[in-house]
């Protein structure tokens, strides 16, 4: 079998070039799947769902490594500076790949040049949440209180530059309220402090918040997308709750360092797409309110170019500064 594999690789190298031969032998050792946030957040949950499927399909472990800090910048920079051999990949997000390049122009990596796109896993609404003990039953009640008491309410996010942070900034702009932002090192610790009442409210992904909403430990006031979330139709949108034009979705992607052979990025994109079609993954995505995507590397590159332009406008128009 070993001799056959060597002959097969040699044949493909002769016919298609050395890149495809590398992909044919890939992976031969464990792969680091870097999550740029603390455990318990959306990126972490998805990595731990998809990683085992990649391990089963490709015969090597995909080991999730949490490297939190600076709204995803620390983990993303780790991957950007790793060897472009397919053995380090990034759980990318709207924050690490689109928002932070606009919000923090001095970040140590170039989101457009330092990564090889692999695929877009999918998108999810964020949701405005309060503790189960909160006096606010609706988004309208919360906003009315915020207008009467500027600066008295606080809201958590998974970190500066995340979609949760920017969703809060856009809410303040459009609703004309002042709510103090409290950044955390990921959704896990942020949502714990919402449940504990250490902050007045939180904005987090439906993926993270859904189990707590269903358990009754959090109350959902509104989702941040223009349409109500599939499977959570009883939760109104922020736009329906008196803030017309409000629309923010969080998305999750996968990247490798720039220079990674395209044969490897396409192989990973194909295997992730297969994983997302598995019944158990589809069931889990539906329960979490996540809409699966499965873009090719080329489609993801084009999508991210559009997203970077969009959030650059939001940051500029809102005069938003990194905290």
Lowest mean pLDDT among 81-85, 141-145, 231-235: 231-235
In this structure, the answer to whether residues 217 and 268 fall within a common structural domain is no
Per-residue pLDDT tens for 210-238? 999 999 999 999 999 999 998 899 999 99
Cα angle, residue 299 at apex, residues 20 and 82 outer, rounded to 5°: 55
Q: Is residue 51 part of a domain?
A: yes
Q: Is the dihedral of CA 63, 161, 251, 286 positive or negative?
A: positive
Q: Is residue 7 part of a domain?
A: no
> With contact defined as beta carbons under 8 Å apart, do 196 and 163 qualify?
no
Q: Reply yes or no: is the peptide bond before residue 161 cis, omega within 30 of 0.
A: no
In this structure, the answer to whether residues 68 and 136 fall within a common structural domain is no
Q: Is residue 212 part of a domain?
A: yes
Task: Determine the structural domain holding residue 173 and report its residue range.
Answer: 125-249
Write down the pLDDT at residue 171: 94
Q: Is residue 242 part of a domain?
A: yes
In this structure, the answer to whether residues 230 and 273 fall within a common structural domain is no
Q: What is the CATH number of the domain that holds 259?
A: 3.40.190.150
In this structure, the answer to whether residues 60 and 152 fall within a common structural domain is no
Q: What is the mean pLDDT of the chain?
A: 90
Write down the pLDDT at residue 20: 44
In this structure, the answer to whether residues 239 and 279 fall within a common structural domain is no
Per-residue pLDDT tens for 291-317? 898 899 999 999 999 999 988 988 888
Question: Which of 249, 267, 293 marks a domain boundary?
Answer: 249
Helix spans in the chain (H): 2-16, 18-25, 42-58, 73-80, 94, 100-103, 139-148, 163-175, 187-195, 206-215, 262-276, 279-288, 297-318
Mean pLDDT of 35-45: 91
Residues of the chain above pLDDT 90, percent:
73
DSSP assigned state of 236:
P
Residue 80 has pLDDT above 50, yes or no: yes
Q: What are phi and psi of 115, to 5 degrees?
A: -130, 150
As given in the structure block, the two tokens for residue 264 are: 């490897």
Q: If you search the block for the tokens 């500066």, which residue do you land on?
A: 160
Closest CA to 89 of 259, 256, 300, 297: 256
Closest CA to 215 of 304, 131, 317, 107: 131
Mean pLDDT of 82-104: 94
Q: Is residue 13 part of a domain?
A: no
In this structure, the answer to whether residues 245 and 268 fall within a common structural domain is no
Q: Is residue 38 part of a domain?
A: yes
Q: Is residue 269 part of a domain?
A: yes
Residues of the chain above pLDDT 70, percent:
92
Q: Is residue 270 part of a domain?
A: yes
């Amino acid at each position: 079998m070993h001799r056959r594999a060597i002959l097969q690789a040699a044949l493909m190298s002769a016919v298609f070039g050395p890149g495809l031969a590398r992909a044919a032998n890939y992976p031969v050792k464990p792969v680091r799947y870097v999550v740029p946030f603390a455990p318990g957040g959306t990126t972490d949950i998805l990595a731990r769902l998809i990683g085992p499927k990649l391990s089963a399909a490709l015969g090597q472990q995909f080991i999730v490594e949490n490297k939190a800090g600076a709204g995803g910048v620390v983990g993303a920079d780790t991957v950007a500076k790793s060897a472009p051999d397919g053995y380090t990949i990034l759980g990318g997000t709207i924050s690490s790949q689109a928002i932070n390049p606009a919000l923090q122009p001095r970040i140590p990596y170039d989101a457009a040049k330092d990564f090889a796109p692999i695929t877009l896993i999918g998108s999810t609404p964020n949701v405005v949440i309060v503790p189960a003990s909160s006096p606010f039953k609706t988004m309208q009640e919360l906003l009315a209180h915020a207008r009467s008491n500027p600066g008295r309410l606080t809201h958590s996010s998974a970190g500066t530059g995340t979609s949760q942070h920017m969703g809060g900034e856009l809410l303040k702009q459009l609703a004309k309220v002042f709510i103090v932002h409290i950044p955390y090192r990921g959704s896990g610790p942020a949502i714990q402090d919402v449940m504990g009442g250490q902050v007045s409210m939180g904005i987090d992904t439906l993926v993270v918040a859904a189990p707590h909403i269903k358990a009754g430990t959090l109350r959902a006031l509104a989702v941040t997308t223009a349409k109500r979330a599939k499977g959570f139709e009883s939760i109104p949108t922020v736009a329906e709750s008196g803030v017309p034009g409000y629309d923010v979705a969080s998305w999750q992607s996968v990247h490798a360092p720039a220079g990674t052979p395209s044969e490897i990025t396409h192989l990973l994109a194909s295997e992730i797409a297969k994983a997302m079609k598995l019944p158990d993954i589809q069931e889990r995505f539906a329960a979490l309110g996540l809409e699966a995507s499965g873009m090719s590397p080329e489609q993801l590159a084009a999508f991210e170019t559009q997203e970077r332009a969009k959030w650059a406008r939001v940051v500029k128009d809102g005069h938003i500064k990194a905290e």
